[in-house]
Structure 1
Amino acid sequence: MTALTSTTKTLDFVQKRKPRHALPRELYSDDDIYREDLEQLWHKEWIFAGHTFEIEKQGQYLTLQIGDYPIVVVRGADGLVRAFHNSCRHRGSKVCQEANGKTAKLVCPYHKWTFDLDGKLLFAGNMGSEFNKDEYGLKPAHCEVVESYIFVCVADEAPDFDAFRQAVSPFIAPHGLNDCKVAFESNLVEKGNWKLVFENNRECYHCDGSHPELLNSFVENLSVAGVADNEDPELEAFWDRCEAAGLPSRMSMDEENGQYRMTRIPLTEKAVSYTMDGKPAVARRLDQSGVENIGALLYFHYPNTWNHFLGDHALSFRILPLGPRATLVTTKWLVHKDAQEGVDYDLDHLTRVWLATNEQDRQLVEGGQAGIISPAYEPGPYSDVAENGVCQFDDWYCETMRRKLAN
């Protein structure tokens, strides 16, 4: 199928979506539409890769696959964080094969071409006297950092990043993520389209029947769940208390196209963290506000990350598409860098709620994918009360794809 036909098909199904309804079946399963998702979104937008404290030392690196592009993010000798296409300039082999590691130089395992941490080619054996090493450095990818979050864009020209940086920085900064470490990491492959994974995150309509562990502490506040501006005196009082302590809390969002949003929500009564008993999971706090119960700061950035920040720890979630019906979900539990396992936190107490929740969400996503591929599937309407968030995601997807495909 030609690129023009693929574009036409995708645009046709995007335009067929009824307002405030789920997406047509093909947008969750069709191979050609998945290709357009990669080309128009994943290969052109800023993608969350990982955290700077994961590559704190010179030569530390992490790798990820953004659609068709293998990427390596590495800390240079000058302390800068850079991203490169993880493809040797000789015959294309992946230079860094592991998910993360530490190395003095980036050495391709195939023929030992050796690159400096800034991407320059240092050694290429048996290439003759006419060979010019300066022409064969690793190809760079766009890389930006905001409050420990590393974002990568593989497009030739990256979209603006500054607006997002300015919006999100005041919210994250008080939580001290630059002084964190990863206490635990989970990687889960969900056999569902990436849009189903994000849709599932954007509503808690399903929580009562699916997430008993999470509901010990989390409660969805419908005033901030979607895009509606509903007055809630208790929420306003909570925001006032947190903001007086230096913690931005009132909703801030991308007014232009809805790609990102930040807001803080209170937890259930007496709960201060995502634990089975609602008590702190980590003895050492991240913030310096002096407020015992700061609820949970939530932020998302489409198409691949949502995040939760509490008083004692934070969680970052990253999704990466593996195919039309498969998505990698990576969850990282972040604690203060000086917190010691077995002393300041118990790993089971820290991780039990979201390990259970992630597994439950995997089953929901896979059940949704299995039903959606049925020829009998017909998109249903969204709840005006409980599904404004998921509707907002679908609106963003359709409007973004329509704008990109029409050009």
Structure 2
Amino acid sequence: MTEFDLLNLKYNHIEDARLDMSRILAERARQFSLPQSLYNDPFLFRIDMEEVFMKEWLFVGMACEIPSPGAYMTVDIGQNPVLVVRDRDGGIRAFHNVCRHRGSRVCTGKRGKVANLTCPYHQWTYDLKGDLIYAGTEMGEGFDKSDFGLKPAHCKTAGGFIYVCLAEHEPPEIDQYLAALEAYMEPYDMENAKVAAESTLEENANWKLVIENNRECYHCSGSHPELLRTLLEWDDTTDPRATPEFKAQYERQAAEWDREGIPHKHVEFGLRNRIVRMPLKDGTAVMTMDGKPACKKRMGRIQNPNLGSMRLLHLPNSWNHMQSDHMIVFQVQPVSAQKTLVTTKWLVHKDAVEGEDYDPAQLSYVWDQTNKQDRELAEQNQRGINSLAYQPGPYSETYEFGIINFLDWYADTVLKNLTHDRL
């Protein structure tokens, strides 16, 4: 009997899985890890994709990656290939990367630049606004090109970040967060930045385990020696573990940030989004092995090298660190119930010269090591959860409140969307 047959013994239809998902989430113990099936069952993973990743706003890339008209990037959201392109007016648009002829992907590269968007299969061609402009003469006299433009996806940008939502109708509200993001990212001038290094790790773990691991530093002292050369473990000044010495350091540095007009106060928008600037260890400027800047050119209008790390959280798929000389952005892409891609990009000023102003290996070393360590942790976590012996365990309200907040957001979001589906 195949794995698929065994799964069918549990769920005869996807609607049975939806009902079970609703029950599990409604009955879960809030301060405990999730039941096993939510971490490894393919049917429930499908519901995660349908109710979270196909309906919520997702971080997909940086505007500076597509700097001029015709520049594009592609991303897969589950089984949905998506195309993000800068049009001739300088705007950024997102489309389903699916030709309206027979469904082939229009753009097959990860990034590129084109005059128009041409499907390689039969050369149907679309302009940068998604309108079909060429389909040959073989379609007959009754064929109307205006009926066959690329299908758009919701797309918004702020502070250099690009967000896409595949919701069929009205997407969730995000404008308050985007307005704050625009203000907090203003000092960095992200239109004049570039990607200096990039990596993608395939992790054999459920996407929620990847996010859970990120949302706590309980594990840091035992797993991340490179990161802890500069990182302070607490989440912000309200962290119950924060010491008087740390709070005094924060006040000193905050006064410097205020003088330079650098935003830093904690803002949050529900449990999904938050922004906060935090000092690094006293005497260190950025997340490198020696704590010294990794790039000679600072970002945007920044003068003070001691900006600490401005942390941006966007659920369900991104966390980020903004520093004086470079920034690090993370993107999570679920692949299957027990496989996740984690892409990390290091960005610097666009005029910084590799080998002269920065060394990509030095720039990326600390988080390269941290990512590999986190992959091992997530994969070992997944292996244990797959065991017959697994049962949900308790989270520490002091050390793991970030996970509790994440799972509250996740459960509320899935239940909300499932309920809406039934209406």
Structure 2 unaligned residues grouped into runs of 5+: 1-11
1:289, CA displacement in angstroms? 4.4
Instruction: Write out aligned runs for 1:53-92 (5 A).
Output: 53-92=64-103
Matched, 1:341 2:354: yes
1:224, CA displacement in angstroms? 4.8
TM-score by length of 2: 0.92
Local SS of the residue matching 1:248: coil
- Report what 2:160 is aligned to: 148
Any conservation in 2 of the 1:281–1:350 contact (CA below 8 Å)? yes
Structure 1 unaligned residues grouped into runs of 5+: none
Q: Distance in 2 between matches of 1:225 and 1:401?
A: 29
Matched, 1:290 2:288: no
Any conservation in 2 of the 1:146–1:169 contact (CA below 8 Å)? yes
Matched, 1:44 2:55: yes
Percentage identity across paired residues of the two chains: 44
* Deviation readout 1:104-157 (Å, 9 max, x if unpaired): 121111111111111111111221222111111111111111011111111122
Structure 1 segments (4+ residues) deviating >4 Å: 222-231
Structure 1 letter corresponding to 2:288: T
1:220–1:228 distance in 2 versus 1, CA, 3 Å: closer
Which of 272, 280, 296 in structure 2 is aligned with 1:267? 280
Q: Distance in 1 between matches of 2:26 and 2:54?
A: 22
Instruction: Write out aligned runs for 1:34-183 (5 A).
Output: 34-125=45-136, 126-156=138-168, 157-183=170-196
Any conservation in 2 of the 1:44–1:154 contact (CA below 8 Å)? yes
1:170–1:78 distance in 2 versus 1, CA, 3 Å: closer
1:71–1:228 distance in 2 versus 1, CA, 3 Å: farther
Any conservation in 1 of the 2:25–2:411 contact (CA below 8 Å)? yes
Q: Distance in 2 between matches of 1:53 and 1:241?
A: 29
1:229–1:349 distance in 2 versus 1, CA, 3 Å: closer
Q: Distance in 1 between matches of 2:347 and 2:316?
A: 22
Query: Which stretch shifts more, 296-305 or 114-123?
Result: 114-123
1:50–1:390 distance in 2 versus 1, CA, 3 Å: same
Any conservation in 2 of the 1:297–1:310 contact (CA below 8 Å)? yes
Matched, 1:380 2:393: yes
Which of 343, 362, 374 in structure 2 is aligned with 1:330? 343
Structure 2 letter corresponding to 1:88: C
Structure 2 letter corresponding to 1:16: E
- Report what 1:245 is aligned to: 260
Any conservation in 2 of the 1:226–1:387 contact (CA below 8 Å)? no
Q: Distance in 1 between matches of 2:407 and 2:238?
A: 14
Local SS of the residue matching 2:411: helix
* Deviation readout 1:278-318 (Å, 9 max, x if unpaired): 11000011153433311100011100111100011001111
- Report what 2:380 is aligned to: 367
Q: Distance in 1 between matches of 2:347 and 2:91?
A: 22
1:230, CA displacement in angstroms? 9.2
Question: How many aligned residue pairs are there?
Answer: 405
* Deviation readout 1:174-195 (Å, 9 max, x if unpaired): 1222210000111111111111
- Report what 2:35 is aligned to: 24
1:95, CA displacement in angstroms? 0.7
- Report what 1:403 is aligned to: 416
1:67, CA displacement in angstroms? 2.0
Query: Which stretch shifts more, 242-251 or 96-105?
Result: 242-251
* Deviation readout 1:328-360 (Å, 9 max, x if unpaired): 111110000000011111111111111111111
Give the root-mean-square deviation of aligned CA atoms.
Answer: 1.8
* Deviation readout 1:22-48 (Å, 9 max, x if unpaired): 111111111121111111111111111
